[in-house]
């Protein structure tokens, strides 16, 4: 049974969020802690938007597969013989066994281990052994052409894979155009992934990780050692579904070798795509995959832009820096997750009208998607 928002938490918490005031309230705590609310998000927000799902460079060869979960739905990505990346619902059409359980290469076809039904990489059903009895590989009234894998809407934008579970997906280019415009100075055709940081499970709701990236208010307090980007040099960004912040450093900064002190853009595309641009030649992209109301799996891929090179030593320093920055953020997000269970959080806390207006817009989009 799908519960309404009022069934979950009553109207008062949402009235506080929706109330027009000089200092706005945030989303109520139940939006971060209630399993039923997470189930609604999984079906609606993650079921009807273009969701960031993976990295194309992680599927370099035909037959490469990656399983993933969108909301609560099992899906897998595959690179087919034409070298295209496609997405399918991750279930055999026979008894609905999950076909792909780990990333790897399946060769020229996918075989269900339960009853050996075989699918081509384009999803076509190729074999149903003994379906109609010993030696009878078909059955009256059964047409294999009607029982291929069910495709999922899939778009590859440069190195980044987006999927949409909706029956009538919106236009990705329209949603992404504000972000594309803000990255217009980068030749995204000349980016090179040089490192991946896999953080595993973070004990926080996925929205907290998104909101933390969007707002600059915390930077000089939480990242006082790992960055030198003064708050006064920051501004926020609200541009359609592209939300975030930017920093234009206007004074001399410290020159430690492992401190971030460059002009930057911190950009997101609703709901879960994160891309950081660090001048002159670095990009970082986060993949946040919610697995429960209070748990999110996160990884970061570091790219060098414009075909430039970095030494192994320089790459190791980048990995060390970003590992520290993320761990600083994770500590705050995990403590916020704990605080969201407090009665204080029932009316959502408050948001800075100057520094957290982009967070407010993210929360409005998230609530609208569930409603």
Give the residue among 297, 66, 302 at the shortest CA–CA distance from 199.
297
Q: Is the pLDDT of residue 10 over 60?
A: no
Round to whole Å and give the CA distance between 174 and 285: 21
What was the pLDDT predicted at 261? 61
Give a yes or no: residue 33 inside a domain: no
Q: Is the pLDDT of residue 99 over 90?
A: yes
Q: Is the pLDDT of residue 300 over 90?
A: yes
Mean of all residue pLDDT scores within the chain: 91
Directed axis angle between helix 357-370 and helix 11-18, to 10°?
140
**200 and 331 belong to one structural domain:** yes
What was the pLDDT predicted at 132? 85
Q: Is the pLDDT of residue 9 over 80?
A: no
pLDDT band, residue 252 (cuts 50/70/90): very low
Round to whole Å and give the CA distance between 330 and 1: 34
What was the pLDDT predicted at 80? 97
CATH number at residue 111: 2.102.10.10
Q: How many whole angstroms from its chain centre is CA 348?
A: 24
**131 and 190 belong to one structural domain:** no
pLDDT tens, position by position, 62-90: 999 999 999 999 999 999 999 999 999 99
pLDDT band, residue 264 (cuts 50/70/90): confident
**207 and 131 belong to one structural domain:** no
What was the pLDDT predicted at 184? 87
**Domain range holding 298?**
186-370
Tell me whether the omega of the peptide bond preceding residue 207 falls within 30 degrees of 0, making it cis.
Answer: no
Q: Is the pLDDT of residue 256 over 70?
A: no
Share of the chain above pLDDT 90, in %: 78
220 by Cβ neighbours in 10 Å (0-12 / 13-18 / 19+) ranks as middle
Round to whole Å and give the CA distance between 75 and 57: 18
Higher pLDDT, 240 or 4: 240
In the beta sheet, which residues pair with residue 86?
78
Give a yes or no: residue 1 inside a domain: no
The mean pLDDT value for 255-271 works out to: 77
Which DSSP state fits 149? Answer: P
Cβ atoms of 85 and 154 within 8 Å: the answer is yes
**308 and 214 belong to one structural domain:** yes
pLDDT tens, position by position, 144-161: 999 999 999 999 999 999
pTM of this prediction? Answer: 0.92
Directed axis angle between helix 35-43 and helix 357-370, to 10°?
80
Residue ranges of alpha helices (H) inside the chain are: 5-9, 11-18, 30-33, 35-43, 172-182, 206-214, 219-222, 312-339, 357-370
**267 and 359 belong to one structural domain:** yes
From residue 120, alpha-carbon distances to 100, 128, 208 in Å are 14, 12, 40
Give a yes or no: residue 8 inside a domain: no
**212 and 328 belong to one structural domain:** yes
- Please say which residue of 136, 156, 176 terminates a domain: 156
Give a yes or no: residue 178 inside a domain: no
The mean pLDDT value for 210-235 works out to: 89
Round to whole Å and give the CA distance between 250 and 214: 21
Give a yes or no: residue 170 inside a domain: no
**136 and 223 belong to one structural domain:** no
**264 and 137 belong to one structural domain:** no
Give a yes or no: residue 164 inside a domain: no
**201 and 58 belong to one structural domain:** no
Collect contacts of 330-338 with beta carbons under 8 A, ≥24 apart: 330/199, 330/202, 330/204, 332/212, 332/218, 332/222, 333/202, 333/204, 333/208, 333/209, 333/212, 334/202, 334/203, 334/204, 336/32, 336/204, 336/208, 337/32, 337/33, 337/203, 337/204, 337/205, 337/208, 337/294
Strand ranges in 190-307 using DSSP code E only, listed in sequence order? 192-202, 234-239, 242-247, 264-269, 273-278, 282-292, 295-304
Residue with tokens 């990780």: 209
**192 and 138 belong to one structural domain:** no
Domain count, the chain: 2
Give a yes or no: residue 15 inside a domain: no
Tokens of 220: 């000089």
The mean pLDDT value for 7-18 works out to: 68
**292 and 191 belong to one structural domain:** yes
Give a yes or no: residue 273 inside a domain: yes
CATH number at residue 218: 3.90.380.10
What was the pLDDT predicted at 258? 63
The mean pLDDT value for 108-129 works out to: 97
In the beta sheet, which residues pair with residue 89?
75
Higher pLDDT, 263 or 355: 355
Q: Is the pLDDT of residue 30 over 70?
A: yes
**211 and 319 belong to one structural domain:** yes
């Amino acid at each position: 049974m799908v519960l309404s928002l009022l069934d979950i938490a009553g109207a008062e918490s949402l009235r506080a969020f929706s109330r027009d005031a000089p200092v706005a309230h945030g989303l109520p705590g139940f939006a971060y802690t209630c399993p039923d609310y997470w189930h609604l998000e999984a079906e609606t927000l993650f079921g009807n938007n273009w969701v960031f799902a993976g990295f194309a460079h992680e599927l370099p060869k035909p037959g490469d597969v990656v399983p993933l979960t969108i909301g609560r739905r099992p899906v897998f990505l595959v690179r087919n013989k034409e070298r295209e990346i496609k997405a399918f619902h991750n279930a055999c059409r026979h008894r609905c066994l999950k076909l792909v359980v780990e990333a790897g290469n399946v060769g020229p076809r996918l075989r269900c281990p339960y009853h050996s039904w075989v699918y081509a990489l384009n999803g076509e059903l190729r074999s149903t052994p003994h379906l109609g009895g010993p030696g009878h590989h078909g059955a009256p009234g059964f047409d294999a052409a009607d029982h291929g894998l069910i495709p999922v809407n899939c778009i590859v934008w440069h190195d980044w894979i987006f999927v949409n579970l909706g029956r009538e997906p919106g236009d990705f280019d329209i949603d992404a155009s504000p972000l594309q415009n803000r990255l217009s100075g980068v030749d995204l055709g000349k980016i090179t992934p040089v490192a991946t940081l896999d953080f595993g499970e973070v004990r926080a709701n996925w929205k907290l990780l998104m909101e933390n990236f969007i707002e600059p208010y915390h930077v000089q307090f939480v990242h006082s050692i790992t960055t030198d980007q003064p708050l006064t040099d920051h501004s926020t960004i609200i541009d359609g579904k592209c939300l975030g912040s930017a920093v234009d450093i206007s004074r001399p900064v410290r020159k430690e070798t492992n401190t971030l002190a460059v002009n930057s853009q911190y950009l997101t595309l609703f709901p879960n795509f994160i891309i950081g641009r660090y001048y002159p030649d670095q990009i970082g992209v986060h993949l946040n995959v919610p697995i429960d109301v209070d748990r999110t799996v996160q990884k970061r891929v570091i790219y060098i832009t414009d075909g430039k090179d970095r030494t192994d030593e320089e790459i190791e320093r980048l990995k060390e820096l970003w590992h520290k920055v993320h761990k600083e953020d994770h500590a705050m997000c995990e403590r916020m997750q704990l605080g969201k269970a407090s009665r204080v959080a029932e009316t959502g806390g408050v948001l800075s009208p100057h520094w957290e207006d982009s967070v407010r817009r993210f929360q409005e989009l998230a609530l609208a998607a569930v409603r």
